[in-house]
Structure 1
Amino acid sequence: MPRKLRSRPLTDNPQLLGLLLTLPALMAILAVVLIPIVSSFWLSLHQKDLSRPQYDAFIALKNYLTLLRDSRYLNSLWVTFRFSLTSVIMEVILGVSIALVLNQRFVGRGFVRGLMILPWAMPSIVNAAMWKWIYNADYGALNALLTQLHIIEGYRVWLADPTWATILIILANVWKETPFTVILVLAALQAIPEDLYEAARVDGASAWRSFWHITLPLISPVLMVASMLQFIWGFQTFELVYVTTGGGPFSTTELTTLRVYATTFRSLRFGYGAAMAYLTSLVILIPAVFYIRSAYRRVVEM
């Protein structure tokens, strides 16, 4: 009699088993991420204006070409780039400095390390409301402190001044985002062997030379990751500016997220707003590609 053929169990084919196990997650990603991305890109190729639905039409890349001549959008792009770059520089400098202090041994070190995470863990809208209260012209803590210290003679409307408004929202963003850099750098510092520092001390190296030739090269990959993430998050900042300045005065603090929001949900120009969001994402992608290439080069050289 012919022998019965037994079906092979799934465990004999690890590729098929892995595909089946990840299929639910892939379907969820497809439904939640990929489909909205494709549909919003398709929307960006249309003139979709809810205030004038009779003019809706497929216009291909016309929205993108119009954006390249949109002075207000280009200004928001420059404001966002300046905001993100300045924030990243300050966050890296402060993050490394604070991490070096927290890496030392002192009483209450664990408690202080725990406190460092609080600003970053605070919801963005709560952080924005707190800084709006601090900067308030009538009863803000900043005016009260500077007046009591006799630095200023009377209360000032800080957020009505274009220069001060830009500086103050950057400081508020740095206060919230710096702990993330501190945590990453602190973890990298703890992974550095103590033998390297002992050898440097035996050779007569100063603390600065040890930092420059040992600490900085070994934490540079972490700094690169932190800088890139902070730069991208800077382009995603919305609540802080929306609550504190609303993009003013004179659009000096209008980030691209605020411009996209105003175009899409206030002016109801959904097609143009979608194109604006995609063009901004392309701008963010450029430094991200540079980072990936640099990281890959480091891995190849190791």
Structure 2
Amino acid sequence: MTGPKGNEKFGLLLTLPAMALLGAVVLYPLVAALTTSLFDQSLVLPGRKFVGLANFEAVFDRQFWPTLRNTVVFTVGATIAPVVVGFALALALNTKLPGRAVLRGLFLMPWVIPGVVVSFVWLWIFNANYGLLNGLLVQLHLIDEPVVWLGGPGTAMASVIVAKTWASFPWIMVMLLAGLQTVPHALHEAAALDGAGSVSRFRHVTLPHLRGILGIVVLLEVIWNLQHFDMIYVLTHGGPAGSTTTFAVAVYDTAFKAFDLGTASALGALWLVLILGLTVVYVRVTERGEKL
């Protein structure tokens, strides 16, 4: 098997196992889910009935907009907060801080702990009866009585975002710290000689060099937070009163609690469209960064 055609056939043979795996693991479940969204199908009853777009209409009538609002609130909060914390720590660790090597290792701990374990740790911290947070705030006389952090619509989402921030900031810190170490010191020295202060140097020297990596970090966090499930489900199960029900939780509850596969598939299809849109943005930003 020689020549260009032979090389093409050989290359095709090499890709067949990967293509078969892609079709079995990704394409077939995707097509099956999109097909199921057009049927009235139960998880516990046999058979199904074609209903067209009725499942999508049911989703828009009942749960789409509240779920979208909760997903956007969680995604925005769980993206901005860890980026701010990670950026601040990256800036601090990029200086000649005593013990910075040890601190880098310590700050990575939340990232290496499994998400479910982190969720149960924060479940204990936020517990209204014996939680660490309430005990600490009472001892400091900041509150008079324990607060039900995960039981109130106004505090549940904020609590989940805090927990997710604790688990997410380490990888953001590492990425931005790596970017900070590529900023030429000569540029900072030249700006300082021209009379630029620390804020001005950060704005005109540091940020332009980090624009590409910062954009990729933010986009990845947004995409991952749109799909996040475990921490929300462990802490609140989507409650109270649906105030923390995101797309991931709504699809799970509809499919495995209400046993309505058709509606769950329709909700998942709309969720997929949202994620695909952000994925396209991510790919374009990445390609633009490679061209620069």
Judge same fold: TM > 0.5, yes or no: yes
Bigger Rg, structure 1 or 2: 1
Matched with 2:53 is 61
Aligned residue type for 1:69: D
Task: Go from structure 1 to structure 2 and tell me whether the alpha carbon gap of 1:14 and 1:186 turns closer, same or farther (over 3 Å shift).
Answer: farther
Give TM-score, length-normalised by structure 2.
Answer: 0.92
Shift, 1:27, TM fit: 1.9
Extract structure 1 runs of 4+ deviating beyond 6 A: none
1:106-136, CA deviations, whole angstroms, 9 ceiling, x for partnerless residues? 3322221122222122111111111100011
Could you say which residue in structure 2 is the equivalent of 1:3?
none
Identity %: 37
> By how many angstroms is 1:23 displaced?
2.6
Q: Does the CA contact (< 8 Å) of 1:147 and 1:153 recur in 2?
A: yes
Letter in 1 for 2:178: A
Structure 2 CA distance for aligned equivalents of residues 196 and 185 of structure 1: 18
State the aligned residue count: 292
C-alpha offsets along residues 41-97 of structure 1, whole Å, 9 cap, x if unaligned? 11112111245546x212233222332222x33201110111111221112211111
The reply to whether residue 261 of structure 1 matches residue 255 of structure 2 is no
Alpha-carbon distance in 1 for matches of 2:206, 2:9: 45
Q: 1:20 aligns with which of 5, 13, 17?
A: 13
Using a 3 Å threshold, how does the CA distance of structure 1 residues 190 and 18 change in structure 2: closer, same or farther? farther
Deviations 1:149-188 (A, max 9, x none): 1111222222222111121111111111111211111111
Cα distance change on mapping 1:18 and 1:205 into 2, 3 Å:
farther
Counterpart residue type for residue 14 of structure 2: L
Unaligned runs of 5+ in 1: 1-6
Q: Secondary structure at the match of 1:47?
A: strand
For residue 40 of structure 1, the aligned residue among 33, 44, 48 is 33
Q: Secondary structure at the match of 1:159?
A: coil
CA RMSD after TM alignment: 2.0
Q: Structure 1 residue 292: deviation in Å?
A: 3.4
- Alpha-carbon distance in structure 2 between the residues aligned to 1:76 and 1:265: 17
| Paired position in structure 2 for 1:97 | 88
Rate the CA distance shift 1:109–1:18 in 2: closer, same or farther, 3 A. Answer: farther
- 1:30 maps to which residue? 23
Instruction: Determine the structure 1 residue equivalent to 2:117.
Output: 126
Cα gap change, 1:65 to 1:154, in 2 (>3 Å): closer
Q: Is there any run of 5+ residues in structure 2 with no aligned partner, and where?
A: none
The question of 1:106 aligning with 2:97 is answered yes
Task: Tell me how far apart the structure 2 counterparts of residues 115 and 137 of structure 1 sit (CA, whole Å).
Answer: 28
CA contact (8 A) 2:107 2:170 kept: yes
**Partner residue of 1:158?**
149
